[in-house]
Chain A
Amino acid sequence: MSTTLPDAAPASPGGETPERRFPSAPLFLSGPAALLFAALVLTPLFLTALLSFNQFDYATGRTGGFTLEHYLAVVTDEYYLEIFLRTFRISALATAICVVIGVPEAYILSRMSNPWRSIFLLVILAPLLVSVVVRAFGWSMLLGPEGPVNGALIALGIGRMKLLYSEGTVVVALVHVMLPFMVIPVWTSLQKLDPAVEQAALSFGASRATAIVRVVAPQILPGILSGSLIVFGLSASAFAIPGLLGGRRLKMVATVVYDQYLSDLNWPMGAAVAVILLAANLIIMLTYHRMVEGHYRRRLG
């Protein structure tokens, strides 16, 4: 999305702009944030990448030296392949459901008038105030064998169902957690929309549905795109939800990393899986971004 630069500050009498007087000002001003980013994000990432090339001795638990065996193991072992595929399948599904639920939700929200709009915006954002762990436990109580959902199923004569520790449950819980991250960017791009554009479509005889599909949706695509990227990225690296609702058997990549670090104590292996997840995530997201945004760049600017 394009950003507009604020107008340049009025030139001083000598014709000198502030930039010319303090050529290092931008560097100086962005310095603290850059340092913080380098210290807290790049350093651990770099150390993790280094660690992933270390050898691991099961007998002594020592690490050191250089090897590609962890990467080879992940790439060749079907166990890991299945976990990666499952992770991306679950993330893609959660993203798709978030689009299907979140976009209409944002549209309805943008059409509400105050005070309802503010109230419902708060309702949408409120779950973010509750820890993901707490919400995951909430879902496990709700869906557990003795939970209210199963109680209702038994009362209806359908009988007890195994709801927990399944892919479906993880997807549902992920959608619940990620929905605000879809609604907010879509809502923001809806705010930028000229309401007369939709009226124009109606005035030319379009039905409301046609107006939304042909005129509104293409214009909020950048918002849907950023929402999808956030939801997919967060879902693919989600830990608490699959950890608590997926159980021991239904593993996702983040839970495998955790197991490697803390159960097997094979830190290099865990690091290798984490690096591959990061790389795969980056590739998927950049490809998606290029595909969708590139298509609309010329039109929407």
Chain B
Amino acid sequence: MSFLELKNITKRYGPMTAVGDVSLSVEKGEFVSLLGPSGCGKTTTLQMIAGFVEPSAGTIRLDGRDITRAKANSRGLGIVFQSYALFPHMTVFDNVSFGLEMQRVPKGERKPRVEEALSLVHLAPYAKRYPRELSGGQRQRVALARALVIRPPVLLLDEPLSNLDAKLREAMQFELREIQRKVGTTTVMVTHDQAEAFSISDRVVVMEAGRITQIDQPYRIYEHPETEFISRFVGKTNLLPGKVATATGAGATVSLAGIAVPVETAGLSVGETVTLCIRPEKLHLTAPSGGLLTGRVADRFFLGSQWLYHIDGPLGTLMVVTPNDGSTPAEQGAPVGLEWSPSVVRVHRGAMAEAPDVALEVTG
């Protein structure tokens, strides 16, 4: 039996369903991220685990105990809020000590525990400061120390890194994971940033319009997205509509605008409409005559460690990412060939949905 268990959790606001039928099991010590665009219900789900929002239906069990209707202040969970929600009128020490005080931990025991928590987040010298005298990253650490000091069964992180600048966010990501490993607290994080979710989670839960669409390890979600939405939302992808031309037992060929492309998906029937997904980094540039397709470099962008090419060809514009290995990049306008291995092609059955640009949706 898992440590934290959500069973058919639903939250309705009037006629609107914010979260529908969400079931999730989290093992002890696991780091799970809820990933999705804003408005997908991930924060509402977290708030129901925290006890700030009461589910309309379903049960939440923590360590075998039903906490669905338990008050927030009786659950004993550690929460890091998006705004950090530090107590501005208390010093860093008092902020961290607050939870222990509420648990009636004796004064003599409180001090060493607060100091331990502060040194865990490298803030021991700042104990006497007030929150407004700290930088954003330091406030974030105080919030983390404050949540961890009470030794909660579950740590809840609500977009913990979204208020930090890019460089600090990356550093804190790894630090967060390191701290979580060290204390071994079961952690549920909400985020809309896939890089954040992928780099530090054991498992990622992708949510879409109030429902869970995939629960898996980060690399599996990236390599085997179960829906077209996920393949769009998670990383960059080339989506190519086509029809199945031939099907054999273990594979098939798909006709894309007259070009036959082998795939390794079984069970497809001839004539079926499908959408192929190929990640940009799985495509390789070759000499103009050598590949499966030929095209022309329409645009190229230097990303430091990588080159991003837009290649115009018979299938429209494809994105190709190649590592910057120090060799001379393809020139703009130059003819190139494209090749890939059939095993990297993912097949979604059905036509491609006309989805809006996901990149615009996830900001905010």
Contact = CB atoms under 8 A, between A and B. Distances in A.
Contact of B89 (A199, A208, A296): A296
B77 interface: yes
B87 A215 contact: yes
B150 interface: yes
A200 B102 contact: no
B81 A201 contact: no
B98 A201 contact: yes
Contacts of B75: 203
Given A298-B130, A299-B89, A299-B130, A205 B102 contact: yes
Interface string B140-178: 000000100010000000000000000000000000000
Nearest to A199: B52
Contacts of B88: 197, 219, 299-300
Nearest to A299: B89
Contact of B150 (A194, A201, A204, A296): A204
**Is the contact region of chain A dominated by helix, strand, or loop, or is it mixed?**
helix
Contact of B81 (A200, A206, A214, A215): A200
A299 B52 CA distance: 28
B150 to A, nearest CB: 6
A44 B86 CA distance: 49
Given A200-B81, A202-B73, A205-B76, A301 B132 contact: yes
Nearest to B102: A205
A210 interface: yes
A104 interface: no
B72 A196 contact: no
A191 interface: no
Q: How large is the interface on A (under 10, 10 to 19, 20 to 34, 35 or more residues)?
A: 20 to 34
Interface in A206-237: 206-208, 210, 214-215, 218-219
Contacts of B26: none
Contact of A218 (B72, B89, B132): B89
B102 A210 contact: yes
Nearest to B52: A199
B207 interface: no
A206 B132 contact: no
B99 interface: yes
B69 to A, nearest CB: 15
Contacts of A214: 87, 98
Contact of B77 (A203, A206, A210): A203
Given A197-B86, A197-B87, A202-B52, 8 more contacts: A196-B85, A200-B81, A202-B72, A203-B51, A203-B72, A204-B73, A204-B150, A219-B89
Interface of B: 50-52, 71-79, 81-83, 85-90, 98-99, 102-103, 130, 132, 146, 150
6 contacts: A199-B85, A200-B81, A201-B87, A204-B150, A206-B98, A219-B89
What 10 pairs between A and B have smallest CB-CB spacing? A204-B99, A196-B85, A205-B102, A200-B85, A218-B89, A196-B81, A299-B89, A203-B79, A202-B73, A197-B85
